[in-house]
């Protein structure tokens, strides 16, 4: 009951904060009085609903979604595997750590411009998304693999616990928060990198390509509407992934409890 009330309060605070910022946006738009410079939230929402009624809108959203999710999945998989390798070997860690630092420090636009020389079409946003996600996932999971309690690991070795039991009871609980953090942060980076790549590459029938066309023809309401689409999709995917991970964590915990009770 208490958790339900707390959850309702958080949602109420979020809604109130959003309402305040929307009101400020509306007031500022009215003060400027020029839709070309700053369209109101009402006109932006109207344009968004108008776009959503066209087939080209859903084609652009679907294409961007597929390209960005493909890059995110590849980056997450590669980052996780690389984290396992760097955690297991100091030589591998020394080899890849500088590369990951360089990738993290390089602006998205630089990667897009460099990659544009070799890669064209839908593969460019996927590749840039992959590069942005890879170091984020690697950093979080590498730290998570090294965050297990040393005392508990020493006790497990003393009692000669099986490796699967050590992973289930010690390493996985320490690693899960880092995995959750990697997913949440990398999804945000994925959308920023993927859409930026689409804009710079002028990718047709995509969110970034639509943003570029809207800017080119001075359709400011369209720029705001497509930006809102990007934000909405990013937030929705983040919440879906968070819900799935929470459910997986609960199932893992329940499975562990059942197994321990059965063994007892």
Higher pLDDT, residue 52 or 170: 52
Residues 148 and 106 both lie in one domain: yes
Residues 128 and 63 both lie in one domain: yes
Is residue 262 predicted with pLDDT exceeding 50? no
Is residue 125 predicted with pLDDT exceeding 70? yes
Q: What sign does the dihedral 161-165-167-171 (CA atoms) show?
A: negative
* pLDDT classification of 258: cutoffs 50, 70, 90: very low
The string of DSSP letters for 14-32 reads HHHHHHHHHHHHHHHHHHH
Query: What are the angstrom distances between the C-alpha of 107 and each of 37, 98, 104, 115, 255?
Result: 27, 16, 8, 13, 43
Instruction: Report the length, in residues, of the chain.
Output: 264
Residues 7 and 52 both lie in one domain: no
Q: Do 148 and 174 contact (CB within 8 A), yes or no?
A: yes
174: tokens are 């320490």
Rg (CA), the chain: 23
pLDDT digits (tens, 9 = 90+) for 190-221: 888 889 888 887 777 889 889 988 888 888 88
Mean pLDDT, range 99-103, rounded to an integer:
85
Q: How far apart are CA 115 and CA 220, in angstroms?
A: 29
Residues 92 and 198 both lie in one domain: yes
Residues 25 and 60 both lie in one domain: no
pLDDT of residue 122: 66
Residues 48 and 76 both lie in one domain: yes
DSSP state of 169: I
Domain span at 7: 1-33
Which of these ranges, 49-53, 139-143, 258-262, has the smallest mean pLDDT? 258-262
Does an H or E element contain 167, and which? none
Phi, psi of 238, rounded to the nearest 5 degrees = -65, -45
Residues 18 and 77 both lie in one domain: no
Q: CATH no. for residue 237?
A: 1.10.3720.10
pLDDT digits (tens, 9 = 90+) for 235-257: 888 888 878 877 776 766 544 44
CA atoms within 13 A on the CB side of 161: 16
Residues 2 and 127 both lie in one domain: no
263: tokens are 């063994």
Residues 23 and 51 both lie in one domain: no
pLDDT digits (tens, 9 = 90+) for 67-99: 999 999 999 999 999 998 998 888 888 888 888
pLDDT of residue 7: 61
Mean pLDDT, range 91-116, rounded to an integer:
82
Q: How far apart are CA 165 and CA 162, in angstroms?
A: 5
pLDDT of residue 109: 76
CA atoms within 13 A on the CB side of 53: 6
Q: What sign does the dihedral 104-124-75-60 (CA atoms) show?
A: positive
Domain count for the chain: 2
- Cα three-residue angle 58-186-130, rounded to 5 degrees: 75
Could you tell me which of 228, 151, 225, 139 has the C-alpha nearest to residue 182?
139
Mean predicted lDDT score pLDDT of the chain: 82
Residues 95 and 214 both lie in one domain: yes
Residues 208 and 226 both lie in one domain: yes
Residues 72 and 115 both lie in one domain: yes
Higher pLDDT, residue 116 or 184: 184
């Amino acid at each position: 009951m208490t958790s339900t009330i707390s959850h309702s309060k958080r949602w109420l605070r979020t809604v109130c904060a959003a309402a305040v910022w929307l009101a400020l946006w509306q007031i500022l738009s009215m003060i400027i009085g020029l839709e070309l410079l700053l369209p109101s939230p009402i006109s932006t929402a109207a344009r968004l609903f108008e776009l959503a009624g066209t087939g080209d809108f859903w084609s652009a959203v679907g294409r961007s979604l597929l390209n960005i999710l493909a890059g995110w999945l590849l980056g997450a998989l590669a980052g996780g595997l690389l984290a396992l390798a760097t955690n297991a070997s100091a030589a591998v860690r020394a080899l890849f750590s500088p590369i990951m630092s360089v990738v993290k420090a390089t602006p998205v636009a630089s990667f897009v411009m460099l990659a544009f020389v070799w890669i064209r079409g839908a593969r460019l946003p996927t590749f840039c998304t992959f590069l942005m996600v890879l170091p984020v996932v690697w950093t979080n999971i590498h730290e998570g693999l090294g965050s297990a309690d040393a005392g508990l690991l020493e006790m497990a070795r003393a009692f000669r616990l099986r490796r699967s039991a050590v992973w289930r009871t010690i390493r996985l609980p320490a690693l899960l928060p880092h995995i959750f953090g990697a997913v949440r942060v990398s999804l945000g980076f994925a959308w920023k990198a993927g859409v930026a790549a689409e804009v710079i590459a002028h990718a047709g029938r995509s969110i970034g390509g639509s943003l570029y066309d809207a800017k080119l023809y001075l359709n400011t309401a369209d720029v705001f509407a497509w930006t809102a689409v990007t934000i909405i999709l990013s937030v929705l995917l983040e919440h879906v992934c968070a819900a799935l991970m929470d459910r997986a964590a609960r199932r893992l915990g329940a499975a562990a409890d059942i197994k321990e009770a059965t063994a007892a």
